[in-house]
Structure 1
Amino acid sequence: MECERARTAFAAQMLGGLDRPQHESVAEHLDRCPSCRAERDELLVLLPLLDGVRLYELDGVPDPDPERAVRAAREMATDRD
């Protein structure tokens, strides 16, 4: 297995997306390729951090504005009266 394929595959492996033969092929590659092993180790550190990312912290998604939300709710309540 070449490095480019291995890098794609071990990302899928970490997410549980490989069958047994693919998993074994990636494991064999990682055993003999220090560069891919280092990249996999970096991903293993980053993966849990992604769980902590909130949508509003991503580019293009506005920060939450509780005051604006309260104002909008009050305006909607006033419009109903």
Structure 2
Amino acid sequence: MSLVDWSVAIMGTWVVVIVVAGLVMALRPGLGELEYDATVAEPLRLRQASGVMPRDRATDIKRDLGSEHPPWERLDRQGL
């Protein structure tokens, strides 16, 4: 067999293995289905609103001092 024949055989086998793996993952039932289907009894609370995650103090200070860049300048600096 020539090198081209070997490469075609290896790549063809690789494609078949990937397709079979994709079909197995798509057709078998997942193990974590129940976690996503469970309804939450209490409403979700944001971490920042519940006091777990602190607010961004630098942004608050910049707003108080009036030195925060307007949103259009931030977008302009990013090239948008």
- The answer to which structure has the higher helix fraction is 1
Q: What TM-score does the superposition give when structure 2 sets the normalisation length?
A: 0.32
Higher RCO, 1 vs 2 (CA within 8 Å, ≥6 residues apart)? 1
Q: What TM-score does the superposition give when structure 1 sets the normalisation length?
A: 0.31
